[in-house]
Amino acid sequence: MTTVKRFTAHAARVATAVVGGVVIASAGLVACSSGDGDSARLESLGYVVPNPIMTTNAGTSLGVATDAAKVSARLYPGASIAGPEGQLLPNPDIVTATRAGDDPRRVDYVINDKAQYSDGHPVVCDDFVLTQAASSDPALFGSDLPLFYQVESIDCAPGNKQFAVHFKEGFGNRYMELFSAGTVMPAHIVAEKAEVADVVSAVASEDQETKTRIAQAWQDTFNVTRTDPASVPTSGPYSVAERGEDGHLKLVANPHYAGPAPVQDPLYVYPSTVDVTKLAEDRALGVADLDTDVRPQDVGLDGDDWVVQTPISERVDTLRLSGINQLESEEARRAFGECVDRARIAADVKKATGMDVQPTGLRVVPPTHALAPQLQPTNDAAMAVNLDSAREHLGGQQIRIGYLDSTPRYKTIVESIQASCADAGIEVQPIALSADSYGTLGQDYDVLLDTRGSFGRNSSENTNVFSRLEAIRASEENLQRDSMTIPLTTEPRQIAVEHHVDYVTDNGSDAGLAWNMDRWTEQDHPVESTEDHHE
């Protein structure tokens, strides 16, 4: 039994986020203290993310790997915002999406007339076309935006505030998952870097050299190690004022943002490589989303000034398969999944980190979802280990698994898979990747391990967490049959909030805590206490 302080609201308090003028109330991850209110306020409000800060473009494979959405959620908010209860909230500060009454495969978008980037340039449909163009050629753009597979075309006149998205036959229900946080980037800046008049005309051309320049600009412009992020305009409530020597970003209010100004100005976002202990000692840290190699008690975040929680994540550590060479057939991909022992992985992760994770074979819904218990037979079937079948289809084969080396538990997971698959005669070769040399799935490795939620994924299916049970069950079975991904275990999380900081609310999307960081508030006195919870 351990004692932890909960990030739950006290008796009459709710965390309030203003999204498009609508007040969204939810239980907050509210810091608490039993102190008398005399402790000093922070010198500055800092937020530590669990990965290196490499890019603000969450649509790149590098952005997915390094959780760029945790940095860019309020730099480039997108068309919808994932809320704290697993819902998708419209974001009319940027754009309003409406399904066409006469065509179920068409969604009409109207961009807010006042939506501008921090350089004063309007947000236009070109920005959304660029996202779709990047998704259509992952090899060229280094993109990871699979749900756009469902999109047939986008109608956009360059510079216009209106556009329409046309879906392929059988798709369209998941339109609110498109254009997510950190994926709608300023096309006018990319066009300038690529030396083209406008992105819409350029991507529609057959000029491969032009497309290559656009693709390179789409990656390099938002890579903070290649381009000064302070020189790149943003569309959200925050813009980047500077990048520090330690890799942190100083965020300040975007004066051109159409919605409410951020409460905290400035706000500092720090990479996982920062000295957390020193930040805490300097009173420069308010919120920390820690990776599993950092224990709060070892970096000074376990005293009365801090509230620490290890919530059950809705995101899942997942293998993504290339679908080529030895993994081209469904049978081979399923066979690889059959040598993966999720219970063993969970035990190994707990041994390495001291944190519990939950095995899962579900792809559409997380284990925390209300319908998950009713899908248990489907889940059990997807997680079944069958070494004989694995040996029959892949025995004697080598499978290379790539993983980001800055996330320590990934090494533990891959080594666990290596051991269990060896029992089926399958050689798993770990490929450690750095953030600045991430490689390409299908070329540098056969399988990629990363962490993801279900929003924006499972592009072959028209169902999501909001669908009916029978539709979800059918999709889970289809996805298991195809086995282009292999879900493993839930993401372990450690969150710490300093007791002067209020309105910090978590969610299960890639943005995590950052989804409403422009609403975070530093109080003059510690937030009122809640009772300790024992578990």
pLDDT of residue 508: 81
Pairwise CA distance, residues 404 & 406, whole Å:
6
Domain boundaries, the chain: 65-224, 312-492
d(C-alpha 90, C-alpha 92), whole Å: 6
Question: Residue 533: what pLDDT?
Answer: 35
Write out 294-363 in H/E/C secondary structure: CCHHHCCCCCCCEEEECCEEEEEEEEEECCCHHHCCHHHHHHHHHCCCHHHHHHHHHHHHCCCCCECCCC
Phi, psi of 304 (to 5 degrees): -65, -20
Spatial contact of 37 and 525, defined as CB atoms under 8 Å apart: yes
Q: What is the pLDDT of residue 6?
A: 32
Question: What is d(CA 491, CA 477) in angstroms, rounded to the nearest whole number?
Answer: 23
Q: What's the pLDDT at 102?
A: 85
pLDDT at 348: 98
Q: What is the pLDDT of residue 17?
A: 40
Kindly state the tokens that stand for 42: 């922070």
Best CA proximity match to 289, nearest among 490, 69, 492, 48: 48
Q: How far is CA 68 from the centre of its chain?
A: 7
What residues form DSSP beta bridges with 3?
534
The answer to whether the CB of 279 falls within 8 A of the CB of 408 is: no
Instruction: Kindly report the CATH number that applies to the domain delimited by 65-224.
Output: 3.90.76.10
Residue ranges of E strands in 198-256: 238-243, 249-253
Q: Which CATH number is 312-492's, of 1.10.150.20, 3.20.20.70, 2.60.110.10, 3.10.105.10? A: 3.10.105.10
Coil, helix or strand at residue 403: strand
Rounded to whole angstroms, the Cα distance separating 379 from 364 reads 11
At 293 the pLDDT is: 86
Contacts 24+ apart (CB under 8 A), 10-13: 10/528, 10/529, 10/530, 13/528
pLDDT tens, per residue, the chain with 535 residues: 323 233 333 322 333 343 443 333 333 454 444 444 445 777 899 999 999 999 999 999 999 999 999 999 999 999 999 888 888 999 999 999 999 988 999 999 999 999 999 999 999 999 999 999 999 999 999 999 999 999 999 999 999 999 999 999 999 999 999 999 999 999 999 999 999 999 999 999 889 999 999 999 999 999 999 999 999 999 999 999 999 999 999 999 999 999 999 999 999 999 999 999 999 999 999 999 999 888 898 999 988 889 999 988 899 999 999 999 999 999 999 999 999 999 999 999 999 999 999 999 999 999 999 999 999 999 999 999 999 999 999 999 999 999 999 999 999 999 999 999 999 999 999 999 998 889 999 999 999 999 999 899 999 999 999 999 999 999 999 999 999 999 999 999 999 999 999 999 988 889 999 999 999 999 888 886 443 433 3
